Amino acid sequence: MGAGEPQFIQVGKNALARRIAVDIEPGSGPTLMWLSGFKSDMSGTKAEALAAFGRDAGQEVVRFDYSGHGMSEGDFEAACVSDWLEEAEAVFDRFCRGDTILVGSSMGGWISLLLTLRRKATHRIKGLVLIAPAVDFTEELMWKERFSDDIRQAILKDGRWEQPSQYSDDPYVITRKLIEDGRNHLLLDQDLHLGAPVTILQGAQDPDVPARHVQRLVEALPLDDVTYSLVPDGDHRLSRPQDIDLLVRVVTEMSSC
């Protein structure tokens, strides 16, 4: 978790207030802002590798945990995309004062895109590095593609459904709130203009966010400079040493542009 203890900032007001854990690796710009995936946190392999890179290179790295994740406050089941986006905006506004490269993994890729569109007028987002970006995953990958009628009915009736996870002993709890709120943030099937270069790293063997899904994102960015790198034997995590080397190389190249 970096050299020091994380600091906490408050996001939201009154009953919606929650303390969000933020870790800063000090250094020069451009700042690298890490955005984790669904049920992941800033102590994951890629996040720690990015912080180590920043420490060695003297480049600032900002990481944080969404509410209901890692060291941040909040109930995971009560949270949704709107909350996590609000927290990303708060961290960006407070800690990313100059040029910034957003590095988003899985759901963090979706949040990165939403954050870029929300903060486009600042002209501070220098580029995006997206790892298996799970854009619109609540609707396209869960609700439409993977959930049976029985699962959909359970979510509508009970407000929640427990999905077994291959990454944890604890199941993923998918709530009706998460699904319905996700529909307020859908990006695919429309032309997007981020105004910043995008590099996408995708595993061809990814069972969670298939390459065909990510191809839809590439097609949704006709006005931006997009580089799409497909790792033939890569999985969803892309956390092997060679995957980390690729991530560091891409971040270094974008930082020097």
pLDDT for the residue 212: 97
Nearest to 77 by CA among 182, 185, 178: 178
Residue bearing tokens 């987002």? 125
pLDDT for the residue 167: 67
Write out pLDDT tens, residues 187-229: 998 999 999 999 999 999 999 999 999 999 999 999 999 999 9
**Token pair of 187 as six digits:** 């990006």
Res. 164: pLDDT tops 90: no
Return all residues near 128 (Cβ < 8 A) that are at least 6 apart: 101, 102, 103, 104, 112, 113, 116, 194, 196, 197, 198, 199
Over residues 37-48, mean pLDDT: 96
Between 169 and 190, name the one with better pLDDT: 190
**Token pair of 179 as six digits:** 């699904």
Enter the pTM of the model. 0.96
pLDDT for the residue 1: 43
**Token pair of 157 as six digits:** 């009736």
Q: Angle 107-118/81-95 helices, nearest 10 degrees?
A: 60
CA distance 161 to 173: 6
Over residues 170-176, mean pLDDT: 89
Write out pLDDT tens, residues 53-68: 999 999 999 999 999 9
Nearest to 112 by CA among 78, 89, 142, 80: 89
pLDDT for the residue 171: 81
What are 5's strand-pairing partners? Answer: none
**Structural domains in the chain, sorted by start:** 7-136+190-256 (3.40.50.1820)
Write out pLDDT tens, residues 117-161: 999 999 999 999 999 999 999 999 999 999 999 999 999 999 999
- C-alpha gyration radius of the chain: 17
Over residues 85-96, mean pLDDT: 98
Res. 2: pLDDT tops 60: no
Res. 4: pLDDT tops 90: no
SS in 3 state form for 31-96? EEEEECCCCCCCCCHHHHHHHHHHHHHCEEEEEECCCCCCCCCCCHHHCCHHHHHHHHHHHHHHHC
Nearest to 202 by CA among 103, 137, 105, 101: 105
